[in-house]
Structure 1
Amino acid sequence: MAARKLREAARIILVGAPGVGKGTQSERLIQRYPQLSSIATGDLLRQHVKDKTELGRQADSYMKQGGLVPDPLILNLILSELTTRKWLKTNRPNEEVVAAIERGNGSASSAVQPDSSPDCSFLLDGFPRTATQAQALSHLLPMNLVIHLVTPVDIILGRMANRWIHAPSGRVYNVGFNDPKVPGKDDVTGEALSQREDDSEDTWRKRLTKFDETSTGLLNFYRESGPGLVVTVKGDSSDEISPQIYREIEQRFGA
């Protein structure tokens, strides 16, 4: 795949049901647009916990109790990552910026200044998932493209029946859709793949229903944030969906 160069900063969110292929699209986008990085909140959490940072210790205390990591802490993780990469400047400590956002204080937006150069382009993975989270994020950094991935439910359910995972890393494969290079083996480690016990059709239908409930408000928030901010792409496979995403990115960001 030939690499393309972005001429403007792209700040992108992929929104799609479980099993729709967000991971596949993310990998393809990063390969096609080398300036585009992936900022995955799950990876950030794990790294901070591993490094025993203050944010990592706070997050770990919630996870050890089986609870969800609060939105302000996730927001602080994203802010910390962006300022570390020098993609965002703040004139106040990160904790104060996040606290101002939580209070609904309009001064939070004036405290941050994003870098608009093309090399500060990224895909945000794992956050936001709700309208409330999207609103908080908007005070920190405005996203400029939200891609809504849509694949028929029956096709997603068929993929899940053929889904295999590498449990230690979380890498996912789908027979006939995203096959491992060696059947039954992880591409990176060569270790055996397995199927999750909860990958039943009933469980997945519940997950898809839950996604519909939470994503409606999220997408509506972004639709109301600006005309054309949300783009819906439909297809039965990743190969159908990818070209649509490429066209949208290249029209908007001049690749």
Structure 2
Amino acid sequence: AAADRKAILLNLGGGVIGDMGGFVASTYKRGIDFVQMPTTLLSQVDASVGGKLGVDFDGLKNVIGVFRQPKAVFIHSDFLHTLPANQLMSGFAEILKHGLIADAAYWNSLQAVNPQEHHDWADIIARSVAIKQDVVAADPLEKGRRKILNFGHTLGHAIETWSLTAEDQPLLHGEAIAIGMIGETYLSQQHAGLSSEDANAIIATLQQWYPKRNIPADAVDTIISLLANDKKNEGHVVMYSLLRS
């Protein structure tokens, strides 16, 4: 029998499952309740929290979506023991971002974490979720302060989308966001008052965990075109969220 409007959808899996399931729940019969049960580090610290539900369309990332909060989010760090190292690294990029945008002490503490050998993620997950929850609570529909969560994502999303069709081994979301954060750190130094000292320290940390990737010259036009179609743009202006010292 078809589910009625009192049904509740349980989304057990990574970020794609959470986004797709949440989007379906939000639009089915004008909305039924759903619960997020994230199983990857990326989805536990980022995708399952905040109520953003997006799906890709026509080669553009998250271009169709809604804002809708889940009924609950259940996070258990034991799921992370099942993940390969690259999935942990993907989630760790968003954790680093949380420190950069909101909590210098947290960022400094993360310098001592080796994400490939770390086994007790509970405290780190709790801090990252708290940072995101605080930002989202103040601006649930991303009209102002919530935009700081987009640091690294304008350039990162464009590179991620390009890699999906151009690379034999496409970048994971967090890997692309790490590249985006490096690029947007340079922009922050040039345009937002981030000091050279801070910029160099941020880039050194990111490059410690995320090796350089070669992007061929003939990909630049594609990436620029993707930037021009970013959903965050205003008019014909590409919008970035940048850091300052």
Give yes or no for TM over 0.5. no
Q: Name the one with the larger helix percent.
A: 2
Q: Name the one with the larger strand percent.
A: 1
With the shorter chain as reference, the TM-score category is: under 0.3
TM-score by length of 2: 0.27
Structure having the higher Rg: 1
Higher relative contact order (CA 8 A, sep 6+): 1
